[in-house]
Amino acid sequence: MSHDPVQRPARKGRALVRAGFTLLELVIVLAIIAIAAAIAVPRWASSHQARRVEVAAVRVCADIVSARELACASSARVAVEFTDGSSSYRVRPAAPGGAGGFVTSLAQPPYEAWIASPKFGSGTSLEFNALGVPTSPGVVHVRTQTLLSIISVDSSGTCTSAPPVSVTRGQPTEAK
C-alpha cells in the first residue's frame, strides 16, 4: 500500500497544498527521541552492570556450595582458592589427584567481574573439612568498575551475597 500525498484543488490565488510534516515538526520529534535516549541509556547501563555483579555473586555462592557438597560426598577436604584482583578462582580437592576440581572465570560475559579482598581466617582460601564445615568463615567481594557484592560464608558453611553497592575508583580493590 503506497501513500501518495494528498492534493487539494487550487483555489483562487492559491497553489496546490501537499499534506506532510514540516521540517520544524521533524526536528521537534528528533529532539524528543534524543532526550528520551539520553535519560534511558545511563539507567540501562547501570542496571546492566548491577545485573552482572549479581549474577557473578550467585555463581561464586553456587561454586562454594558445590565445594561444600564435594567435601561431604568425598569425605575429604576441599578448598576454594581466591586470588585478590583475579577474575578466576579454583575449587580444589585437598587429596592429590582428587576428582571434582574446577576453575571458574568471571572475566567473560555474562559476568565481566573480578574477585577482590578475599579474607578467610588469615588467608585467601576457603577450606571445607571432610564434614563440609569451613575451617575459617569469611568474606569475598565480587567487583566490577563501579559496583561490588559482598559474599559471606558463616561457620556452618552457609553462603550469602549482599545486593551490589557502589564503589569509587580510589578504593583499594581495583582490578589488576
Give the pLDDT score at 129. Answer: 94
Give the pLDDT score at 13. Answer: 60
Mean pLDDT by 10 residues, the chain (176 residues): 58 66 92 91 81 94 95 92 95 76 92 94 94 95 93 94 82 44
Give the pLDDT score at 176. Answer: 39
**What's the predicted TM-score (pTM) here?**
0.73
Please report the DSSP string for 57-122 in residue order: HHHHHHHHHHHHHHHHHHTS-EEEE--TT-SEEEEEESSTT-TT-EEEE-SSTTT--EEEEEEETT
**Nearest of 175, 158, 162, 151 to residue 50 by alpha carbon:** 162
> Tell me: domain 23-166, CATH 3.10.450.50, correct?
no
Domain ranges of the chain: 23-166
